Amino acid sequence: MTISVLNPDHINAELSKPTSIFGLKLWVVIGILLGSLIVIALFFLSLCLTSRRRNRKPRHADFASAAVATPPVSKEIQEIVRPPPQQDHHYHPTQPEIQVDIGKAEHRVVFSDRVSSGESRGTVSVSETASYSGSGCVGPEVSHLGWGRWYTLRELEAATNGLCEENVIGEGGYGIVYRGVLNDGTKVAVKNLLNNRGQAEKEFRVEVEAIGRVRHKNLVRLLGYCVEGAYRMLVYDYVDNGNLEQWIHGDVGDKSPLTWDIRTNIILGMAKGLAYLHEGLEPKVVHRDIKSSNILLDRQWNAKVSDFGLAKLLFSESSYVTTRVMGTFGYVAPEYACTGMLTEKSDIYSFGILIMELITGRNPVDYSRPQGEVNLVEWLKTMVGNRRSEEVIDPKIVEPPSSKALKRLLLVALRCVDPDANKRPKMGHIIHMLEAEDLFYRDQERRAVRENESRDHNQIQTAVSAA
């Protein structure tokens, strides 16, 4: 038996022979064929991925209003997260360490507000063995904080159909929000916090301690919470008409259902909710993430400020707190973005951006627009300076406002976004300016009614005298 061994020189010679295909060498033809096969394989792989993506159900709220279904919004908003400074600014000297004991003794979770080297030192001690009894789920417990309810994980899983994807109504960097229905028929929104390096613990403590007792018609009410194992869940009132971002930037057709009067009412409602946080509580609460997607709307178009996951507490003896810069691109106040010094004036700036959004129907930053119109604040200042205020109104508004009403609202917005934070008005002053406008128009209406009545009376007197 003869064993033949291939000679490398012979192989090279064979591969170097010209072929009948344009005189190309054999190794070139083989390389072209292999490359073609790889390209074809990648093409079919991309087709499969595209078809799977199209078949996937979109994650957005499927609410419906009385007249129009809530429009979906697919755009993503980038969040700003600035690395913390080297010094430990998370713990302000005027802020005492806060510890909150939550739930039953065997489910107790202790949160610490102190932070060392950027990481939380809060400890968690939860016994999972008492989550369920042998006969079934433990009944609802009253919170040790004196408000709301402690919900079991089994209750919330049943309410949200096992936290299924079809019930997702919101998703962000700090958790996923599910629509749910409790056993008694109450509709709720369940926020399942994501534990990002202890951030969920800090967010949970802030919401439960600072917002749990808050009761205001323009703030979404926190009903209770769930603490079991690694789960940290918050249960809110369900607001069933979508959020402001959907109604401003979603597909609502050529004519928006948000009339000028509805928009001004939304602005006033937001201002009253924020004024309660800034001026009606001690310590005051700075929201830190005011944006259109965090303003929920009910069926009567009343605004409800939601999502206090980034909120910070400011005590009366401190005028600011230095912290990580967290918020949403386009809404963050410039002094906060540069220095991390947080005050209630940071919320005022974001509120001014929201007013501009409602007036113009534009995003705070829109790179699809011409160069001079990308930044909403700069474009609006230019238009007002050139006496072209009438051209900034959202074209989808059916009946444009009067010139005086428009200028009054533009003035409030521009004062809120003043580069000098000290010159921005407080929320109480903003409410006064907004309500003064309402009083002005009420006086105008009353004056017009009195003039009409007087004119009719004079005509009747003239007719009687002539008879």
Q: Between these two residues, 167 and 451, which has the higher pLDDT value?
A: 167
Is 289 noted as a catalytic residue in this protein? yes
Q: Given a cut of 50, is residue 114 above it in pLDDT?
A: no
Host H or E run for residue 381: helix 376-385
Choice among 3-7, 149-153, 405-409, 452-456 with the minimum mean pLDDT: 3-7
pLDDT value of position 97: 33
Per-residue confidence band for 228, with pLDDT thresholds at 50, 70 and 90: confident
Q: Given a cut of 60, is residue 309 above it in pLDDT?
A: no
Q: What mean pLDDT is predicted for residues 109-130?
A: 32
Percent share of the chain, pLDDT over 90: 36
| Residue at token pair 């390209």 | 39
Write out the binding residues for ATP: 191
Is 95-237 a domain of CATH 3.30.200.20?
Answer: yes
Choice among 7-21, 103-117, 354-368 with the minimum mean pLDDT: 103-117
Over the chain, what is the mean pLDDT? Answer: 74
Is 244-444 a domain of CATH 1.10.510.10?
Answer: yes
Q: Given a cut of 50, is residue 382 above it in pLDDT?
A: yes
CA distance linking residue 355 with residue 427, whole number of Å: 13
Q: Given a cut of 90, is residue 158 above it in pLDDT?
A: yes
The per-residue pLDDT for range 52-103, each reduced to its tens digit, is 665 554 444 443 344 456 776 533 334 444 444 444 444 343 333 333 333 3
pLDDT value of position 356: 97
pLDDT value of position 33: 85
Write out the binding residues: 191
Paired sense of beta strands 149-150 and 168-172, if any: unpaired
Choice among 197-201, 272-276, 419-423 with the minimum mean pLDDT: 197-201
The catalytically annotated residue of 9, 113, 261, 289 is: 289
Choice among 59-68, 241-250, 308-317, 455-464 with the minimum mean pLDDT: 59-68
Q: What mean pLDDT is predicted for residues 265-275?
A: 96
pLDDT value of position 147: 56
| Burial of residue 244 (number of CB atoms within 10 Å: 0-12, 13-18, 19+) | buried
Host H or E run for residue 52: helix 26-55
State pTM to two decimals.
Answer: 0.64
CA distance linking residue 411 with residue 317, whole number of Å: 31
322-340 in b/e form (b: 16+ CB < 10 A) is: ebbbbbbebbbbebbeeeb
CA distance linking residue 188 with residue 165, whole number of Å: 16
Q: Given a cut of 50, is residue 43 above it in pLDDT?
A: yes
Per-residue confidence band for 249, with pLDDT thresholds at 50, 70 and 90: very high
pLDDT value of position 313: 67
Write down the domain spans for the chain.
95-237, 244-444
pLDDT value of position 287: 87
